[in-house]
Amino acid sequence: MPHVTIKHFPIDLDDERKEILSNEITATIMKVFGSREGAVSIALEAVEKDRWKSEVYEPDIQRCPTFLLKKPDY
């Protein structure tokens, strides 16, 4: 605990950028939740731009506003 899933438009992230992202997110989660490093899991899920509205915006953002920590401006 916890698990974080990052949904994003496809982008070519090399291993170094993935490691930086993972380290930064893990450090923040450890600080805020008091979790140990080995308890944190992170997933990246690329979603094509033409599927974003139906697969991310509508189900995850529009229909679940109470779960959002930050709302998009679109």
Catalytic residue set: 2
Token pair 């450090």 in the structure block, residue: 27
Whole-angstrom Cα distance, residue 29 to residue 37? Answer: 9
CA angle 58, 9, 38 (to 5 degrees): 95
Residues counted in the chain: 74
